Amino acid sequence: MLQEQTASLATGSSGPVTSQLANEFLTFRLGKEEYGIEILKVQEIRGYDSITQIANAPEFIKGVVNLRGIIVPIIDMRIKFRLGNADYDQFTVVIILNVAGRVMGIVVDGVSDVISLEAEQMRPTPEFGAVIDTEYIMGLGTVDERMLILIDIEKLMSSSDMGLIDQSIN
Amino acid sequence: MSTDLEQFYEIFFEESAELLADMETCLLRLDVNSPDLEDLNAIFRAAHSIKGGAGTFGFTDMTEMTHMLETLLDRLRKGELEVRSEMVDAFLKAGDVIKEQLAGHRGEGQADPAVAAAICEELKRLSNEIQAPAKETPVVSNDQTEAVSAEAEVAEVKASPNDDSSRFTYCIEFFSAGMSNTGMENLWANLKQLGSLENVTPANEEERCQLKLVTSNSEEDIWEILAFVVDPAKLKIELDTSGKIEADATEAEAPNTISTDAGSFVDEDEFEMTKMPPAPGYGFFPGAPAAPKDIMDASEANLNSSQQQGESNSKNEPQAAANKSAGKANTAAPASETSSIRVSVEKVDQMINLVGELVITQAMLAQTASQFDPVVFEKLHGGMSQLERNTRDLQESVMSIRMMPISFVFSRYPRVVRDLASKLNKLVELKTVGENTELDKGLIEKIADPLTHLVRNSLDHGIEVPEKRMAAGKPAQGTITLRAFHQGGSIVIEVSDDGAGLNREKILDKARERGLPVHDGMTDQEVWMLIFEAGFSTAETVTDVSGRGVGMDVVKRNIQSMGGRIDIDSAFKVGTRISIRLPLTLAILDGLSVTVGDQMFIVPLTYIMESLQPAAADIKTVSGHGRVVQVRGEYLPVIALHEVFNLHPNVTSIHEGILVILEAEGHKAALFVDDLVGQHQVVIKSLESNYRRVQGVSGATIMGDGKVALILDTAALVMASQQEAV
């Protein structure tokens, strides 16, 4: 027990990843890659239907939907990260997130499962050129042979390049 | 624990604000020559309730001030002092100070202690001015008022019987049947601590126990000890006056009898209750819920309700007295029973949302059900129509929760007019009509400032000084009328005066001076609208009331931001009427739904002049692009919605589609859309709560089929088209 703690403390200095204790992640697929987001940020998962376009919005913002009386913007992560094919059918899945006090939906290729990751299963992000700025990646998780890219969804969705929130410059 | 108290703070603040408003209404209604006792009582109760609450939370500055108020008011309502107008002034000022103190505790601004002290002094001076002859007042003596707090008063109650170092003999009588021996022993021990105890129970008596206690403690102390052990209903404590104790003649009047038997309770004097220790929640709830009722209808309902209150109060008094041990002064309770409950706005909004959802679900169900054969599924269709009716009723009643009578706003103007009129040496009467007209709470809050401005303007610029009025053959006293009524789907609020009216020539001269594009051929309406231009004022002298030309433009902007409109009617030397037209609620909008491609948009109805299908010949281009359409001799710029929003329309040539003629802020434009769908009342939802502001869109709504439709920001679209044209 104590050893575990000291171990995690030791690795804690190497990156912010391990400062997080064991967490549950919802994993989803974008193209061939597997991503994970903190389960606590997920409100629900629903199908993709009746979207109202928003004028002059970036291409990855598909529009807004009515979620029980709340107007919720829908972002297609496949377009944003140029992964997978942006087709829409009855299998298209929207993950409704609740981040930074806002509700929003992201379109992904498919939702796999919920995985619990221990601190030692998470590795710090190496520096590499990825479609997602490494700033928004909390780390890499390993489960058996699979690799999960853990996204700091709150940071990503609040960032200016998503254009979801009015920036002060506007 | 601290968070617990904090959650009550908000209630206390709100309630105190209401009580203060209530108090002010009563004060202004008060006729100095023949004061209505009921009004005085109402003012007293308001001050008293605030004091109770403030005491509970430890806001000593407020307790102090309200206590001063109470002292003077008590003497007034007992007829020991005559009401004079300077007292009313002092009360009003004290009310202002309490308001500031309240704001201070809320963390908004800071009350000036010097002002408070000055008012305190004045109140004290007034209350001490004429000592009532030959009657010892039960009012707390002066030196003690200095450091008044609820605790100090309690001490006083206890102290007064002690003053002559006299000891009282109490006869205690209770049913001891069923009590254990140890319980009795404890009781004996406790009572003995208070003083000398004597058992006078008759030997043959088994069920009852009679005791004689000689003590310097008050009845309350004995009561407290006994109440834990004995059933209060079977307990009786009486002061034995036949004993060897010398009770002062004045002190004999003091409430020395405590009994659970309401009938035998002699003290009906409410003031005595103020001397009770402030138990938690003391004076916390009474009165406030009645407040809306009180101000609802100044002329009629007020008479009624005050009568009612008077009646129920007198009935209630013995009962309230019986509740004394509970430490609650339920003086205004009877009025509150039916009037209102306090619910947070969030809860109401949530309910409105849920009902909105229900309506949508119902619409979806109805659509599905309509596909079934009405003969076979007769019951289903019957049920569906009933569901529709019920949901509509439900929606209406939920919406009405947010509605409040406009008297909430109107009630503040008697004060404004009173103060300002005396400052300007004018005689003005304020009439209010239609105070019960209801509108959305959000609008109520926003309308107050513009309306205040208009009232002040009427008083300063409209109403003339008495001499001038007499010379013009008008009564010396001017009249300002506030009127509210429903018209169509909107509410109209009018501020009218019988003053000088607007001077057309003067306004035109002033406009020319400022270089505004004016000419003599302008209609009166157009001329009057000039006064809403920024920095426009015809006042010869700048006073601290008005004349700087700041304000009317702000008024207009505020009204417009609420989705309203402002109009002026005026006749020179006869008077001016300014009418504000507002939508009933902020949450609902009358809109026309239009389609472009597969998308639906809502155009707010208030901006739409007309819709038409133009002939191809009416469409002209200006310098190659920039199209205009000729409508009745006017050339209007065409805004193609699909171009603005980058959509794929079903029709691209204008004469095949529909043009909706819009007018916003004096500019007109024609909006080109594929088709008109229908007129709806839509519930406005914010896009910004989860997304960001979108150019050309003011909000969103949910249509009957559950889809989202965007509401166009008409003003922005029209203005953008104007800029393009330039």
Q: Residues of A near B (CB-CB distance < 8 A)?
A: 50, 52-57, 63-66, 68-73, 102-104, 163-166, 170
**pLDDT, mean of residues B468-493:** 84
Cβ separation B357–A71 shorter than 8 A: no
Q: Which two tokens stand for residue A59?
A: 């291409």
Query: Is the predicted pLDDT of residue B176 greater than 70, yes or no?
Result: no
Query: Is the predicted pLDDT of residue B4 greater than 70, yes or no?
Result: no
Tell me which of A100-109, B122-131, B627-636 is least confident.
B122-131
Residue B265: the pLDDT is 43
Query: Alpha-carbon distance B456 to B130, whole Å?
Result: 38
Partner residue opposite A68 with nearest CB, options B357, B647, B708: B357
Query: B61-64 long-range contacts, Cβ below 8 Å, gap at least 24?
Result: B61/B101, B61/B111, B61/B113, B61/B116, B62/B98, B62/B101, B62/B102, B62/B105, B63/B148, B63/B149, B63/B150, B64/B116, B64/B120, B64/B148, B64/B149
**pLDDT, mean of residues B77-89:** 77
Residue B161: the pLDDT is 42
CB atoms within 10 A of CB B308: 14
Q: Which two tokens stand for residue B206?
A: 């088994």
Query: Is the predicted pLDDT of residue A150 greater than 80, yes or no?
Result: yes
Chain A residues lying within 8 Å of B360, measured CB to CB: 66
Instruction: Locate the chain A residue with the closest alpha carbon to B706.
Output: A66
CA distances from B369 to B358, B372, B376, B386 (A): 16, 6, 12, 13
- Radius of gyration, CA atoms only, chain B: 34
Residue B19: the pLDDT is 82
- pLDDT above 70 covers a percentage of chain B that reads 68
Residue B569: the pLDDT is 87
Distance from CA of A170 to the nearest CA of B (A): 10
**pLDDT, mean of residues B172-194:** 67
Instruction: Locate the chain A residue with the closest alpha carbon to B701.
Output: A71
Partner residue opposite B356 with nearest CB, options A69, A73, A170: A69
CB atoms within 10 A of CB A98: 15
Q: Which two tokens stand for residue B199?
A: 């058992």
Query: Is the predicted pLDDT of residue B249 greater than 70, yes or no?
Result: no
Query: Alpha-carbon distance A88 to A101, whole Å?
Result: 28
Chain A residues lying within 8 Å of B696, measured CB to CB: 55
> b/e per residue, B38-57, with b = 16+ CB within 10 A?
bbbbbbbbbbbbbbbbbbbb
Residue B437's SS3 state is coil
Instruction: Locate the chain B residue with the closest alpha carbon to A96.
Output: B690
Residue B328: the pLDDT is 39
Q: Which two tokens stand for residue B557?
A: 């902007």
Chain B residues lying within 8 Å of A64, measured CB to CB: 687, 691, 700, 708
**pLDDT, mean of residues B462-483:** 87
More confident site: B162 or B439: B439
DSSP letter at B276? Answer: S
Tell me which of B104-108, B503-507, B544-548, B675-679 is least confident.
B544-548
More confident site: A126 or B4: A126
Cβ separation A166–B688 shorter than 8 A: yes
Cβ separation A69–B689 shorter than 8 A: no
**pLDDT, mean of residues B432-459:** 85
More confident site: B156 or B120: B120
**pLDDT, mean of residues B553-564:** 79
Confidence of residue B241 (pLDDT cuts 50, 70, 90): low
Query: Alpha-carbon distance B670 to B653, whole Å?
Result: 14
pLDDT in tens, B30-61: 777 777 777 777 888 888 888 877 877 778 78
Residue A21: the pLDDT is 52
Distance from CA of B353 to the nearest CA of A (A): 6
Query: Alpha-carbon distance B312 to B328, whole Å?
Result: 17
Q: Which of B595, B708, B711, B712 to mutate to test the interface with A (most CBs of A within 10 A)?
A: B708
Instruction: Classify the phi-psi angles of B563: left when phi > 0, otherwise alpha if psi is within -120 to 50, otherwise beta.
Output: left
Cβ separation A104–B647 shorter than 8 A: no
Q: Identify the CA nearest to B320 among candidates B309, B307, B310, B329.
A: B329
**pLDDT, mean of residues B114-126:** 79
Query: Is the predicted pLDDT of residue B246 greater than 50, yes or no?
Result: no
Amino acid at A41: K
Dihedral sign from CA coordinates of B167, B168, B171, B174 = negative
Residue B148: the pLDDT is 40
B199 beta partners: B211
Residue B525: the pLDDT is 79
**pLDDT, mean of residues B533-559:** 65
Dihedral sign from CA coordinates of B114, B119, B120, B121 = positive
Residue B141: the pLDDT is 41
**pLDDT, mean of residues B468-497:** 85
Query: Alpha-carbon distance B554 to B536, whole Å?
Result: 12
pTM, two decimal places? 0.48
Chain A residues lying within 8 Å of B707, measured CB to CB: 50, 52, 66
Confidence of residue B320 (pLDDT cuts 50, 70, 90): very low
Residue B5: the pLDDT is 64
Q: Residues of B near A (CB-CB distance < 8 A)?
A: 353-354, 356-357, 360, 599-600, 644-647, 685-697, 700, 702, 705-710
DSSP state letters, A34-83: EEEEEGGGEEEEEE---PBP-TT--TTEEEEEEETTEEEEEEEHHHHTT-
Chain B residues lying within 8 Å of A73, measured CB to CB: 690-691
Residue B207: the pLDDT is 65
Contact B604, B711 (CB under 8 A): yes
DSSP letter at B247? Answer: -
Query: Alpha-carbon distance B172 to B235, whole Å?
Result: 8
What is the residue whose two structure tokens read 């309700």? Answer: B305
Q: Which two tokens stand for residue B31?
A: 């006729």
Query: Alpha-carbon distance B593 to B605, whole Å?
Result: 10
pLDDT in tens, B509-526: 888 887 777 777 777 877
pLDDT in tens, B655-707: 788 888 888 766 788 888 888 888 777 777 777 777 877 778 888 888 877 78
Confidence of residue B204 (pLDDT cuts 50, 70, 90): low
Cβ separation A69–B702 shorter than 8 A: yes
What is the residue whose two structure tokens read 């400032």? Answer: B449
Q: Looking at chain A, which runs of residues are DSSP E strands?
A: 23-30, 33-38, 42-47, 61-67, 70-76, 93-99, 102-108, 110-117, 122-123, 137-143, 146-151
Distance from CA of A126 to the nearest CA of B (A): 32
Query: Is the predicted pLDDT of residue B168 greater than 80, yes or no?
Result: no
Instruction: Locate the chain A residue with the closest alpha carbon to B596.
Output: A53
Q: Which helix H or strand E contains B650, and what residues bound it?
A: none
Chain A residues lying within 8 Å of B700, measured CB to CB: 52, 64, 71
More confident site: B142 or B516: B516
Q: Which of A43, A71, A158 to mutate to test the interface with B (most CBs of B within 10 A)?
A: A71
Distance from CA of B645 to the nearest CA of A (A): 5
**pLDDT, mean of residues B90-97:** 82
Residue B226: the pLDDT is 66
Query: Is the predicted pLDDT of residue B455 greater than 80, yes or no?
Result: yes
More confident site: B7 or B659: B659
Cβ separation A66–B645 shorter than 8 A: no
Residue B38: the pLDDT is 78
Considering A94-108, B193-207, B270-284, B645-659, the range whose residues carry the highest mean pLDDT is: A94-108
Contact B545, B424 (CB under 8 A): yes
Cβ separation B708–A71 shorter than 8 A: yes
More confident site: B208 or A124: A124
Residue B355: the pLDDT is 83
Instruction: Locate the chain B residue with the closest alpha carbon to A68.
Output: B357
Tell me which of B264-273, B400-409, B711-720 is least confident.
B264-273
Distance from CA of A72 to the nearest CA of B (A): 6
Confidence of residue B134 (pLDDT cuts 50, 70, 90): very low
Q: Which helix H or strand E contains B537, and what residues bound it?
A: none
Q: Identify the CA nearest to B187 among candidates B218, B222, B220.
A: B222
Q: Identify the CA nearest to B414 among candidates B302, B256, B267.
A: B302
Query: Is the predicted pLDDT of residue B317 greater than 70, yes or no?
Result: no
Query: Alpha-carbon distance B701 to B458, whole Å?
Result: 40
